[in-house]
Structures are given as C-alpha cells and as structure tokens.
C-alpha cells in the first residue's frame, strides 16, 4: 500500500496503471512524445494550458519545480495502446485540515490530452485511477476539479466522470485564454466527496469496461 502525505510532508504519488492508460510520474523522458501530442489538433485547448512543442521541456521543468515544493504530483498519461505519452495530469493543492500528517482534500488538475486520445476512454480511466488512489489509499474526504467557467467542453467532461458542480468563483485563477495574459478568469468548481465515491467509482468502472469491450480505438464522446 502506498502512503499518502499531507501538506507538512509533501504531496507524492506512485505509478498508477490501468488497462487503457498508465499514469507515470512526469519526467524528461516524456518530453519528445508530449511535444508530438501537444501539436495535434489544438482546437480544444482554447482555455487550457497546453505547451507548444518547443515549450514542452520548459513546461516539464516548471511542473517538476512545483513538484519539488510538495504541492504538485504531475503525471504523464501514457496510452497502453501505443506505449506513448499522450498528455499530462496531476494531483495538486493538498489540504490537511485536521492534522498535518493526514491528507484531507486534493485537487486533480493540470490535465490535457492529445486530440487523438480524447474520446478513447483514457480520460475516464485516468480519473478512475486518480480518484481511487486519493480516496482508498490516502483516505481523503474530497477531490475537487476546476476549469474556466467558459470552457463548456471541459465542464461536460468533468461532469461526465461523476463530479458535482458547486458554483463559479469569480476572478479565481489565472486565465489561459489567448489574449488574456495577466488577467484572471472565473472558475467553475466541481467535487466528489468520500460519501459519493462508491457511486462514482461504479460509473467510471462501467465506462472503462464498455470501452475495453469495444476496443480502445475510435472516439466515443467525452470519455
């Protein structure tokens, strides 16, 4: 069993392996494949921080720098179908409210996928792996996710994995939209609580089973 860490000890997480995706701790070995993934059709990245190919090494360096502070645990999303990195995701903003050595809440964020990996079940299983580890290994009471309030595609994807909408926090975080450098955005906030995890897990597992039964090629909406 892996160990969960609260704010005082730093946020860490192990490799998480599924049938469709393997979440590997992000490293420089992923740079070349992520550079290719980031340059596929970028039409869905209007409100999302996704580096260009020549920015990926600096992007990885920045994420590893955040990881060194204990506030971020970044992953490369590696497709089991191709063996290649097709995106990034992370745990971040760990919160310990009761005691410093227990993790009570964490956010899943910094997520993006190559266009070819969207709708293949990778997102659904990645969320299953991340949520399961947070709830069942770390014993958190809450996992939250947020996105630009204008990002309808991202909001639909978050709701599709079982998270509940809590509201919009105005001027809550940095905007990643082109032309909005230095500005703040309104953020739509979603969460899953420990009491809701069983139902959420069953739904995600069913989606992954359905994808495996069909084969993991071809898009199927927001999974």
In this prediction, residue 100 has a pLDDT band, given cuts at 50, 70 and 90, of confident
Strand-pairing partners, residue 164, are 191
pLDDT of residue 158: 94
pLDDT of residue 178: 82
Q: How far is CA 114 from CA 32, 34, 38, 41, 122, in A?
A: 13, 8, 6, 8, 11
Sign, CA torsion 148/154/156/158? negative
Q: State CA 27 to chain mean position distance.
A: 16
More confident residue, 44 or 125: 125
Residues 143-194: tens digit of each pLDDT: 999 999 999 999 999 999 999 999 999 999 998 888 888 899 999 999 999 9
pLDDT of residue 175: 85
> Taking 90 as the threshold, does the pLDDT of residue 223 lie above it?
no
Q: How far is CA 4 from CA 14, 93, 100, 101, 180, in A?
A: 10, 14, 11, 9, 37
């Amino acid at each position: 069993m892996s160990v969960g860490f609260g704010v005082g000890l730093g946020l860490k997480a192990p490799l998480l392996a599924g049938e469709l995706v393997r979440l590997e701790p992000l490293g420089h070995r992923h740079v070349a494949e992520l550079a290719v993934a980031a340059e596929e059709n970028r039409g869905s990245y209007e409100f999302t921080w996704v580096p260009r190919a020549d920015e990926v090494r600096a992007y990885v360096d920045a994420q590893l720098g955040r990881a060194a502070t204990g506030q971020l645990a970044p992953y490369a999303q590696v497709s089991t179908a191709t063996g290649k990195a097709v995106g990034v995701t992370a745990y971040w903003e760990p919160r310990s409210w009761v005691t410093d050595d227990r993790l009570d809440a964490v956010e899943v964020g910094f997520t993006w996928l190559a266009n070819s990996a969207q709708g293949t079940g990778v997102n659904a299983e990645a969320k299953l792996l991340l949520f399961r580890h947070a709830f069942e290994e770390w014993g958190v009471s809450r996992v939250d996710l947020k996105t630009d309030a204008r990002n309808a595609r991202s909001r639909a994807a978050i709701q599709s994995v079982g998270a509940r909408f809590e509201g919009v926090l105005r001027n809550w975080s940095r905007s990643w939209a082109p032309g909005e450098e230095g500005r703040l955005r309104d953020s739509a906030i979603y969460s899953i609580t420990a009491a809701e995890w069983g139902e959420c897990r069953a739904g995600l597992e069913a989606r992954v089973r359905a994808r495996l039964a069909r084969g993991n090629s071809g898009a199927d909406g927001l999974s």
